[in-house]
Structures are given as structure tokens and as C-alpha cells.
Structure 1
Amino acid sequence: MGANFFFDKLLPAADTEARKVPGSQRQVEIFTHGDGLWLRVGLLDEEHQGQGFTVEFTKSAAAELAEGLDRAMHYFGYKK
């Protein structure tokens, strides 16, 4: 069974390594594979490499993340 991606985008990086190279980005992916739900943050300025830091979510942790993102969106507002 292959992976199903729900979010897959290069985003501005904001960490110690990225500060050395202004404009650096990291790929952020949310995907399912098998029975798991995963979030991966890729290596600096690497796109579609499948490498980086990956975490697996439980159902309850995914619900907490969704709730946290929903609350945080009130900072920006939901309109683009």
C-alpha cells in the first residue's frame, strides 16, 4: 500500500541551521502509510527526498494537533 499525502509543501525554515542560509525552506508532509498517520519535516532545502524528521500520530494526538491548529488559526484568521 502506498502513501497518501494530505499536505506536502515547502515552507520557510526558521531554525539555527536555516539562519545560515537566508530563504531556506523545509518540506512539510502529512501522510498516511499502512495504518499510520505521519508528519515529516524534511532536510534543509531538500524537496521530495523522503528524509528528515518523522513522527507517527496516534488518533488522540492527531485530534489534539488539529484542535491546536484550529485555535492557532484565530491568530491569522481563516480568510486568505
Structure 2
Amino acid sequence: MKTVAQQVQAMHRYWPGFELAEQTAEQAIWFGSLAGIERTYRIVVDYRLPLDQGDRSCRWQFPVVRVLSPSLDRGSTH
């Protein structure tokens, strides 16, 4: 598992267009844009270390990614 500092370095290397908004020893948050086929999406990526690293069911085992805009329609097929 990467430390937050290692993840910040990797994001900067592979996704240089993403802005690091917050970094602590346990969490990093980025904002950025991803270009889709028809539009560009503004997203936020929230990376946190698991509270209990031995607990594989921990919610924060993977980054949480949310689309900020445009709003997504639930049930849409595209």
C-alpha cells in the first residue's frame, strides 16, 4: 500500500493536470477534469489510508471518485 506522500507523487507524475487541494499524513484530495467522448467532467479524487490496515472491508481501501459536473443522470445508458 502506498503512503499518502507516494500517492501524491504518483498522481503528479501520471495526472499532472489534477490540482492537489489538501494533503495530510492520512489523506489527499485532488480536483481535475477528464475528457469524455461528448463532454468533459470535473471530478474530485479522495485518497485515504484505511483506518485499520488489516481490515480488507474498509471503505477507504480504494480512492473515492465523485463527478462534480456536469451532473449525471441515474439510469442513463450513456
Same fold (TM over 0.5): no
Q: Between Structure 1 and Structure 2, which shows a larger proportion of helix residues?
A: 1
